[in-house]
A and B are shown apart, each in its own frame.
Chain A
Amino acid sequence: MELSEFLTKFKEQYVDSDSITLSEDDDFRNIESYDSLTGMAILIMIKDNFNIEISEEDYKKLHTVKELYNYIQNKK
């Protein structure tokens, strides 16, 4: 999966996905509607698409969509 497609799928996990702007280098936790439930939805999306489980500890260290994408690529 390309980064752009990953970004689209990532954005879909926010409850207000239609009205937010999120780029690959933004801190995804800075979006107003982000909370732990959004985080759970993101981790499920990653498990669905890449069959990778990310630990709480690792997830906390990742701040942008690009960082998360690269992390997944290295894990594959």
Chain B
Amino acid sequence: MKALINAISYYLPNKVLTNKDISEEFPEWSVDKISTKVGINARHIADKDETAGDMAFKAAEKLFEEYNITKDKIDYLILCTQSPDYFLPTTACILQDKLGLSKKIGAFDFNMGCSGYIYGLGIAKGLIISEQAKNILLLTAETYSKYINKEDKSNKTIFGDGASATLISSTNLPFGLNFEIMNFCYGTDGSKFDSLIVKNGAHRHPIFDGKTQYDENGDYKYNDNNLYMDGKAIFNFTAFQVPPLIKETLEKNNLKIEDIDIFIFHQANKFMLETVRKRCEIPAEKFFIDIEDVGNTVSNTIPIAMYKAMIQKKYMPGKILLSGFGVGLSMAAVILKS
């Protein structure tokens, strides 16, 4: 029994936040200098009344249309999000109805961020191999912009909203991508849970009583009601933990770096990707970076990058190594084979 990625599509909200918009709002912020380093010029931002559920719906509809997939084929729906429509019920149940999928399907959300897409592939493979499902719709959708404080120029520069849809099946799809999902490796360090966090609003700190903190220069530092990121902690985790994970993943699949045709990592930002690429000793020509017009869209970055590489650029490699890392702190990697 095999599990195959047959099709990928994605959706980005219409509203675009450009560097020009950011520099007009924060004239003292050297956005061009920062954006050159992080490699991001524009990000898409969900409308006030547009949720992760709405965007996941659009990504799924786009996938069905692009690949001519009949909806009744789907027998399991998984949504990865950290910005669900409600505390409960699970957004995936709402999407089952909205997308007009069969009532006989399984559907659930899971809460993961930058490593979420790989986790989704891992769950989907498990469901297929154990014969619980044959055609799984894996959705990722995130609206981090709704968590970001209006004064938080650094996170505004990095994060964008978006959604993706992937069809994972037990058989090939005519004209599909048809990448076999090989072996996985995972890693978790919960001791750093508070280095990327939205602290207030759930049950540990139910009241939104955060006060904005500023540094000695009067620059925004954090507010517990909003998204907080300790960039240094995340950078350290990635720089030191991801290279051994990549090595382990290659070993688990009996492959070497030179056997891989393309490496597609979570598109966190260009500077961090370049750092991790060098530390993993991956040649630049095999390393895919494309975040200029989307930004860091959390669990969406890998499927978006795959779409850009394979569908827009028509590049169909033999072996791909995917890896996601960040919030949790959590990381995961897998190899795909055509």
* Known interface pairs A41-B275, A44-B236, A44-B239; A36-B33 also in contact (CB < 8 Å): no
Tell me if B309 is interfacial: C-beta within 8 Å of chain A.
no
CA distance A39 to B236 in the complex (A): 12
Tell me if A67 is interfacial: C-beta within 8 Å of chain B.
no
Tell me if A20 is interfacial: C-beta within 8 Å of chain B.
no
Tell me if A37 is interfacial: C-beta within 8 Å of chain B.
yes
Contact assessment for B275 and A44 in the assembled complex, using a CB-CB cutoff below 8 Å? yes
Which DSSP category, helix, strand, loop or mixed, fits chain B's interface?
helix
CA distance A44 to B239 in the complex (A): 8
Tell me if A57 is interfacial: C-beta within 8 Å of chain B.
no
CA distance A40 to B159 in the complex (A): 19
CA distance A41 to B231 in the complex (A): 12
Contact assessment for B37 and A40 in the assembled complex, using a CB-CB cutoff below 8 Å? no
Tell me if A25 is interfacial: C-beta within 8 Å of chain B.
no
Choose among A33, A40, A56 the residue that contacts B235 (Cβ–Cβ < 8 A): A40
CA distance A33 to B30 in the complex (A): 11
Chain B count of residues within 8 A CB distance of the other chain? 12
Residues from chain A with Cβ under 8 Å of B38 in the complex? 37
CA distance A15 to B275 in the complex (A): 11
Contact assessment for B37 and A56 in the assembled complex, using a CB-CB cutoff below 8 Å? no
B interface footprint on A1-29 (CB within 8 Å = 1, 0 otherwise):
00000000000000100000000000000
| Contacts of A31-64 to chain B: CB distance below 8 A | 33, 35-37, 39-41, 43-44, 47, 56
What is the chain A residue whose CB lies nearest that of B37? Answer: A37
Contact assessment for A36 and B275 in the assembled complex, using a CB-CB cutoff below 8 Å? no
CA distance A15 to B271 in the complex (A): 9
Chain A count of residues within 8 A CB distance of the other chain? 12
Residues from chain A with Cβ under 8 Å of B37 in the complex? 15, 35, 37
Contact assessment for B239 and A36 in the assembled complex, using a CB-CB cutoff below 8 Å? no
Residues from chain A with Cβ under 8 Å of B232 in the complex? 36, 39-40, 43, 56
| Contacts of B177-193 to chain A: CB distance below 8 A | none
Contact assessment for A40 and B34 in the assembled complex, using a CB-CB cutoff below 8 Å? no
CA distance A39 to B231 in the complex (A): 11
CA distance A37 to B273 in the complex (A): 12
Residues from chain A with Cβ under 8 Å of B231 in the complex? 36, 40
What is the chain A residue whose CB lies nearest that of B234? Answer: A40
- List 19 A–B pairs whose Cβ atoms lie within 8 Å, in order of A's numbering: A15-B37, A33-B33, A35-B33, A35-B37, A36-B231, A36-B232, A37-B38, A37-B271, A39-B232, A40-B231, A40-B236, A41-B275, A43-B232, A43-B236, A44-B236, A44-B239, A44-B240, A47-B240, A56-B232
Q: Which residues of A contact B (CB under 8 A)?
A: 15, 33, 35-37, 39-41, 43-44, 47, 56
Please give me the 3 A-B residue pairs with the lowest Cβ-Cβ distance, nearest first.
Answer: A40-B235, A37-B271, A44-B239
Seed contacts A35-B37, A41-B275, A47-B240; 8 additional CB < 8 Å A-B pairs: A33-B33, A35-B33, A36-B232, A40-B236, A43-B232, A43-B236, A44-B239, A44-B275
Q: Which residues of B contact A (CB under 8 A)?
A: 33-34, 37-38, 231-232, 235-236, 239-240, 271, 275
